Structure 1
Amino acid sequence: MKARLQKKGRLIALFATLTLILSGCGEAFLSTLQPAGEVAQTQYDLMILSTLIMVGVIVVVTIIYAIAIIRFRRKKGDENKIPKQVEGSHTLEIVWTVIPIILLLILAVPTVTATFNLADTSGMDKVDEDGNREALVVNVRANLYWWEFEYPDLGIVTAQDLIVPTDEKVYFNITASDVKHSFWIPAAGGKLDANVDNINTFYLEFDSEKADEAGNLFYGKCTELCGPSHAIMDFKVKTMDRDEFDGWVTAMQTTEETVPTSEVAQQGQEIFAESCIACHAVSPTTGVGGAGPNLANFGEREQLAGFLDHDKETLKEWIRKPEDFKPGNKMPNFEYLSEQELDALAEYLMGLKVLE
């Protein structure tokens, strides 16, 4: 029995230590505890406030409990003594009624205020003298299991990689094509449901200093259980200063369809036209609401399918049998393609770039 208790004690100590260590883990691009913008900072401040209030209540109650146990414990020789019976105290009743009300107000007022402020998307409708929208608006469409980002005022469509400027509000219209999803960028704030029947709106802001610390790269996720590949329905957020973002916009708006420069890539383009073009666009200004992601800048992406290594060999395996990597996705298997055809198709896709 003693050995068993010692073993359990060691396991408890081990798990407690691991919990403490893991609680300190996190990256700037993926942690809600390292806010990277106005929305995230507001939510972080509210979280700290509520935590302090809860910890304060626990400490006070623990102290009172300890005093009561020590001061009013049964003493030797007083086993048969009946203590003085107190019917009640109006003062104490007022104190323990008023204090929770005060604590509730301290928490509720900033929470309600922040909720209404963060829900204010009126800036999305402001236009300049020429009738052009002043703010950047991105239409987000969630699909099984990938993300589409449309910049309606700029005529640009991307997939999997969201590009945003820093130090300004970016407004989002969020919807879904198939089932319920949820859009979340942990370091920036959120999250907001992506529904099939309606459009939800909100805004985020990315602080330039925090973005630099994170390497100008953040991670986004789906946080609504949407199917077998929900856990790997990820996307990347690349932040830029306004001048760099304007350069990216110009490049996306003026780029022409990539022309293969090698014979192998040309063969890949032919295979793509026969097997893939029905679902995938290769122009950054077309393909809104397509069955598959826009591939105009596929060669520039950080990862393949949102979570795989971005290299030719992995791409070939993905094309051959995507179901092995993302169960439940809508892309068909291409097991009938020969190794030579897969090489050509991968060569063509990796060459799809907008920025050199």
Structure 2
Amino acid sequence: MSRGKPIGRLFLVFAMFALFMAGCEKPMSNVLDPQGKTGKEQLHLINLSVYIMILVCVVVFAIFFYVLLRFRRKPGDNSIPKQVEGSLTLEILWIVIPVILLVILAIPTVAVTFSQAKAAPKQQSDDFIRVKAIGHQFWWEFQYPDHNIRTAQELHIPVGKKVYVEVTSDDVVHAFWVPGLAGKVDASPGRINRVPIDAEKPGVYKGRCAELCGASHALMNFQVVAEKSSDFDKWVKKRQSPNSDPQTAEQKDGKKVFAQNCMSCHAIDGTQLKMRGNKAPNLTGFSSRNKIAGLLDNNEKNLDRWLHNPEEVKPGTYMPGFSHLDKKDMTSLKAYLQSLE
């Protein structure tokens, strides 16, 4: 007994801590407070299953306590209670009732699942946009086929419009999940899975990989930036016609350093020198992103940290460090990257 008490107290502490942490997430990252129609449909299914389980628990415990009290052994009563073994009525009841409950749960679940797995309409419309989300170790690529845009780590969407997301992977199995907007969907190599997302109000929603995929699985984050339609249109125009050429001598030197060290993997649109690497994130508009590598706040200090030792920030990343660059080249490279708006 003396050993059991500390273990019980420790369990209680961890349970209270978990309950406390469950309420610390901002609403835009809370799966139980979705900010879009898709998430609300999924939450309805969660609530339905919880209500059915609560009903079952209440009925079972009510019967249990009734039997416990009604048929308890009384002093001096040694008679055998009436046996119900083999009762056809009871057997029918405990087969039919679970089947009815499963049907009540299955019909809306199947309907919502098939509805949300539909492909985007073939004809482009102002009511929706298409996005292809590709998981890589350990970053996310986003392609907008109707807008001819390829970007990474930030998925921009217009508020009030449905976004048809086609999810796949370029290497191992990942999972695309934006808790504040919709449930997770697997990103599997050679296979396209679909999930619609939508946001009812502007904001930045946290996204993450929800499938163990390697050393930096826990760091494979991204953001969904939901913005007004007018702001989204501005972002689209800026990404379609970017000006990524350097303006100062230092930035020009940085572009040369980039071309010598980074161009084979990274792409930058809107430059006279064609940079079309496709092995790593597209860096067009890099300075306007909220995060570096989907993880660090976008500032000079964190950029310096990332460039010097990416492995320290994201274990298992394929990006090599650039500690071999001298101070002048590193400074000019950072100046060029920070000029990409």
The equivalent of 2:122 in structure 1 is: 125
Residue by residue over 1:140-188, the C-alpha shift from the partner in whole angstroms, topping out at 9 and shown as x without a partner, is 2221111111112212111111111111111122222222222111111
Structure 2 residue corresponding to 1:310, chosen from 289, 298, 301: 298
Give the structure 2 partner of residue 196 of structure 1.
189
* 8 Å Cα contact 2:135/2:174 also seen in 1: yes
Structure 2 letter corresponding to 1:240: E
Aligned to 1:32: 31
Equivalent position SS for 2:292: coil
CA distance in 1 between partners of 2:162 and 2:276 (Å): 23
**Which sections of structure 2, spanning at least 5 residues, go unmatched?**
none
Amino acid at match of 2:122: D
Paired position in structure 2 for 1:114: 112
- Shift of the 53–309 alpha-carbon distance from structure 1 to 2, 3 Å rule, reads same
The equivalent of 1:143 in structure 2 is: 136
| Distance 1:203-1:317 versus aligned 2 partners, 3 A rule | same
Q: Does 1:276 align with 2:262?
A: yes
Work out the percentage of aligned pairs sharing the same amino acid.
42
Counterpart in the other structure of 1:333: 321
Q: TM-score, normalized by length of structure 1?
A: 0.88
Q: Is contact 1:157–1:287 with CA below 8 Å preserved after alignment?
A: no
**Equivalents in 1 of 2:194, 2:299: separation in Å?**
35
Question: Which ranges in structure 1 are unaligned for 5 or more consecutive residues?
Answer: none
| Number of matched pairs | 339
Question: 2-side partners of 1:304 and 1:315: how far apart?
Answer: 7
Q: 336-345 vs 229-238, which deviates more?
A: 336-345
**Bigger Cα displacement from structure 2, 68-77 vs 81-90:** 81-90
Secondary structure at the counterpart of residue 27 of structure 2: coil
The answer on whether the counterparts of 1:260 and 1:266 sit within 8 Å (CA) in structure 2 is yes
Q: Distance in 2 between matches of 1:84 and 1:151?
A: 71
Kindly indicate whether residue 337 of structure 2 is the aligned counterpart of residue 349 of structure 1: yes
- The yes-or-no answer on 1:159 pairing with 2:152 is yes
CA distance in structure 1 between the aligned counterparts of 2:5 and 2:327, rounded to whole angstroms? 58
2:309 corresponds in structure 1 to: 321
What's the Cα RMSD here?
2.3
Q: Secondary structure of 1:137's partner?
A: strand
The amino acid that maps onto 2:142 is F
The Cα offsets for residues 39-83 of structure 1, whole Å up to 9 and x where unpaired, read as: 1111100000001101111111111111111221222333x4333
1:100 Cα deviation (Å)? Answer: 1.2
Which deviates more, 169-178 or 35-44? 169-178
CA–CA distance in structure 1, aligned partners of residues 141 and 277 of structure 2? 8
TM-score by length of 2: 0.91
Question: CA separation in 1, counterparts of 2:269 and 2:328?
Answer: 26
Q: Aligned pair in 2 of structure 1 residues 149, 19: CA closer, same or farther (>3 Å)?
A: closer
Quick one: distance in 1 between partners of 2:252 and 2:305? 20
- After TM superposition, list the pairs within 5 Å mapping 1:74-89 onto structure 2: 74-78=73-77, 80-89=78-87
Cα distance change of structure 1 residues 65 and 287 upon mapping to structure 2, 3 Å threshold: farther
Report the equivalent of 1:266: 252
Contact in 1 for aligned 2:134/2:170 (Cα 8 Å):
yes
98-107 or 133-142, which moves further after superposition?
133-142
The answer to whether the Cα contact below 8 Å between 1:124 and 1:135 also exists between their aligned partners in 2 is no
Go from structure 1 to structure 2 and tell me whether the alpha carbon gap of 1:15 and 1:322 turns closer, same or farther (over 3 Å shift).
closer
Range with bigger deviation, 84-93 or 231-240: 84-93
* Cα gap change, 1:200 to 1:348, in 2 (>3 Å): same
